[in-house]
Chain A
Amino acid sequence: MAGKERAIPAPMTNPETEPFWAAAREGKFLLRGCTACGKTHWYPRAVCPFCFSERTEWREGSGRGTIYSLSVMKRAPEPYAIAYVTLEEGPTMMTNIVDCDLDSLAIGQKVTVAFKPTQNDGPPFPMFRPA
């Protein structure tokens, strides 16, 4: 299992993204989708990055995904795995893989969302653990 865990900096929220972080505090993983083109994007935006419509909305995500790529930072006081995870809903997001043996991770592995506390009582950050 992982050793000592790294302190996670708190995300600096803003009015556009505040609902995501408020939901995160309740353990909910929100995604932003577009009612004009139907597509879900990442990271969440008020304006759809595909069709430029402003008709976007929050949707609850399944929290399930697959590792697209990853790298274990060996040169850190507490090694950690950064990754891109492709969500069941389509988009691929930058995140971390946690609660596991970092050296056992592989591209293509199934993972599920795991919110992790951040510094200074910040909102929990969406990371993933092996499914």
Chain B
Amino acid sequence: MTIKGSAYIAGAFEHPTRLAKDKSVAQLHAEVAVGALADAGLTKADVDGYFCAGDAPGLGPLAMADYMNLKLSHLDSTDVGGCSYIAHVAHAAEAIMAGKCRVALITLAGRPRSEGHSGAVPRIRGADAPDTQWEFPTGVATVNAYAMCAARHMHQYGTTSEQLAWIKVAASQHAQYNPHAMLRDVVTVEEVVNSPLIATPLHRLDCCVVSDGGGALVVVAPEIARSLKRPKVKVMGAGESMKGQMGGEVDLTYSAAVRSGAAAFAEAGVKPADIKYASIYDSFTITVLMQIEDLGFCEKGQGGRFVADGNLISGTGKLPFNTDGGGLCNNHPANRGGITKVIEAVRQLRGEAHPKVQVKNCDIALAHGTGGLLGSRHGGATLIMERE
């Protein structure tokens, strides 16, 4: 049994705000839901499945489902960090295939920028988590956990800061065309490597933005997709996994994408070479590099060479990525970038990306995310979609 072709992404909406001092988190969730349903041409009354993760205020999906006054036959609040929403699309397809719902709404929203969050400040991820007592005292934050992966990758494979910088350069090339992007200035490799070190070897411009906002998706059964006017984006395959410290057999050189990617490609029946556009989670430049290797776009250890010289820039590169500017330049709402990854892939497949970054004949796209901390324990989710 497979979810291939069992569901379609009919609605996608990214909140235009990047600073929402005057809004509540619940309000942002509801606003993106309104936007995604309008995009699909559906109404709240059509929704019978709801998906959200840890950014939704309240207990699991209950408070937000009640705020929006949804009438539901299926609820799911799987939380694997920032990639949760990519997994939610697959879970929605599974639920639709099993007849549990026909119109699934997925929402993400948050306001870490208004609340003054920083990825350089250690924070407890569950006081009762079994790892907290062994790790929180070390000052593990977000950025230094990813930085240790970068340091090891450099040591083991000779990856350089200049190669990592090319990832930010490509994102900035795309962001210049996105009027909503938080950072729209095109940057150079020199500017990235000369920006201040935050946690060695990562510089300020190796890090994503901290932004308020959100996004929503509407995943529907095939007969509903056929009744709507929007271009049809079919779910082809998906995979999810996690990777931790393996009882102390730590290996920082690869991610959960090794397993989630292989599963998604197998289910979709396509190869990395078939992917015309890829949304790759870019919490940090190193996140992108490792995921590109692990998804099979290049050999392990060759990611530095692969991303260099503009290979990720739409129009010139071999693998156009994050054409909205990604988390590095555009938006990272709630410190969780998974939903914007799917949204930009949907834009590309519909031919609705900005003309300057739209990939020609974009028929197959991939979205992949990493949630939690790449350097300690993280979730991974991969989704492959096709324009029909």
**What is the chain B residue whose CB lies nearest that of A45?**
B130
Query: Which B residues touch A27, using CB under 8 A?
Result: none
Neighbour of A8 across the interface among B137, B145, B148, B252, CB < 8 A = B137
Query: Which B residues touch A22, using CB under 8 A?
Result: none
Size of the chain B interface, CB-CB below 8 angstroms: 39
Query: Are A12 and B196 interface neighbours, CB within 8 A?
Result: no
Chain B window 135-155, contacts with chain A (Cβ cutoff 8 Å), 1 for yes, 0 for no: 111111101110111111001
Query: Which B residues touch A43, using CB under 8 A?
Result: 130-131, 134, 248
Query: Are A12 and B149 interface neighbours, CB within 8 A?
Result: no
Distance A71 CA – B136 CA, assembled complex (angstroms): 15
For residues 72 through 131 of chain A, which have their beta carbon under 8 Å from a beta carbon of chain B? Answer: 72-76, 80, 82-84, 86, 90-96, 107-108, 118, 125
Check A35 for interface membership: any CB of B closer than 8 A: no
Closest-CB distance, B107 to chain A (whole angstroms): 32
Query: Are A74 and B376 interface neighbours, CB within 8 A?
Result: no
Query: Are A76 and B120 interface neighbours, CB within 8 A?
Result: yes
Distance A13 CA – B130 CA, assembled complex (angstroms): 10
Check A6 for interface membership: any CB of B closer than 8 A: yes
Closest-CB distance, A39 to chain B (whole angstroms): 8
The winner among A41, A48, A73, A93 for most chain B CB atoms within 10 A is A73
Given contacts A68-B152, A69-B151, contact A42 B135 (CB under 8 A): no
Closest-CB distance, B13 to chain A (whole angstroms): 34
Query: Are A84 and B137 interface neighbours, CB within 8 A?
Result: no
Distance A95 CA – B144 CA, assembled complex (angstroms): 12
Query: Are B248 and A94 interface neighbours, CB within 8 A?
Result: no
In the assembled complex, 26 residue pairs joining A and B whose CB atoms fall closer than 8 Å, in A order, are: A11-B133, A13-B133, A14-B133, A39-B247, A43-B131, A49-B246, A50-B247, A70-B148, A71-B144, A71-B151, A73-B141, A74-B198, A75-B120, A75-B197, A76-B139, A80-B139, A82-B139, A83-B148, A91-B247, A91-B248, A91-B250, A92-B250, A93-B248, A94-B140, A95-B138, A118-B137
Interface residues of B (CB under 8 A from A): 120, 127, 130-141, 143-145, 147-152, 155, 196-202, 245-250, 252, 376
